[in-house]
Homo-oligomer: A and B are copies of this chain.
């Protein structure tokens, strides 16, 4: 935090603003390894809270965690034709181990379908072994040429769910269920609204039958693919001979799903909520929910204010929130920094509530609560400060979702639109544009070529326009579906 010059404003250069916030809020740092980053404690603290919330949701839906090898024999990737085409070009390859050249190179997992379904084939014999519902928390590597902190790094942390089912319909239900879990998490915990729907053939996961996605709008009006869920059909089951004996005694291939979210979500959180003062973290995910900043002039005042601040801190909770129902509170007793400098720092770090406490507040038996999201201040009696802070945190969590949703709707375009106008929008400030599509991959490709915008999803019913579009945005032929178009990360 030595660097106290102002952030580049979002309006001036969103990309520069993003990097500055990530670095100065100490979420992450560049590492000496090209394309790999270091996740610092304040960033990792957000990830830990994301993990805990998601893990609870996965377990509540019947999944159990397991761990599969980092290395995958190169030949495994080649067993599913689309999969190898999608992933082989971006793998890191281990060719030497223990000082010797390997007979068969090992790929560092870019995703684990191949190794996991090879194991499932060993474990599943009969319909009684299904469904098999597994999740893995792991690191994966994809050899990206252009990287961005959190959004696109060579190595990233994620979870990947992998399941096997007896029927297509059960797999489809699972893929949709987990998309719903992701949406609940993104909206309920991250305060980041998403549009859900199906990916087109050209945007689906390499090896999937169908891919579903949660798409969030960032403050530069670009889309972030925040989480995907795939119905893999029987593609991997065929490739790895994952069969089961049916109830009637026959043998069939199992039906698989996979689904994942990653540390990319932290980038999404920054780009959804950050402002020109820095980070704003939704309370449920904030490593620190409340920071208490004492104000004093004389030594006598300092003694009184410190004593009161410590009492408040103890009454609210503690730094690691080791007891349930206690808040994660920090007390900033540094004597070398003025209050203003502390405000500046904690605003940069996105702590949802600041408690200011000076001698005059003490005389009135109160403290001042300051919301990070709006900057609004309110006094709180020291007799009820615990309840007041809790209520304020809840209100901030809700307000952040409402604000983000309003922002997205303000930058969504629906209704009849010419292709010229569409290009103008995409060349300008961008938007989520809901428009008709003829279903032809050629139109999709042409639009991408000409505007860099892609079909993010064919949106689920609740996101579709009241008046369905009638014609394709590009070729003007009759539309077969409504598509959500945007530029994306």
Contact = CB atoms under 8 A, between A and B. Distances in A.
B45 A119 contact: no
A93 B68 CA distance: 20
A158 to B, nearest CB: 12
Interface stretch (A8-16, A70-78, A292-300, A344-352): A70-78
Interface in A43-92: 44-45, 47-48, 56, 59-60, 64-73, 76, 89-92
A93 to B, nearest CB: 4
A41 interface: yes
B65 A41 contact: yes
Given A32-B118, A89-B99, A56 B322 contact: yes
Interface stretch (A138-146, A203-211, A224-232): A138-146
A92 to B, nearest CB: 5
A48 B33 CA distance: 30
A141 B29 contact: no
B45 A65 contact: yes
Contacts of A2: 125
Contacts of A428: none
Given A33-B71, A40-B66, A92-B98, 16 more contacts: A29-B122, A31-B119, A36-B69, A38-B66, A44-B64, A60-B322, A67-B157, A70-B108, A71-B155, A92-B97, A93-B94, A98-B143, A98-B144, A98-B145, A108-B108, A138-B139
Interface of A: 2, 29, 31-33, 36-41, 44-45, 47-48, 56, 59-60, 64-73, 76, 89-99, 105-106, 108, 115, 118-119, 122-123, 125, 134, 138-139, 141, 143-145, 154-155, 157, 320, 322, 324
10 contacts: A29-B119, A32-B73, A32-B118, A33-B106, A36-B69, A41-B134, A60-B322, A90-B98, A91-B98, A108-B108
Report the 6 A-B pairs with minimum CB-CB distance, sorted nearest first.
Answer: A98-B143, A36-B69, A41-B64, A39-B67, A93-B96, A97-B143
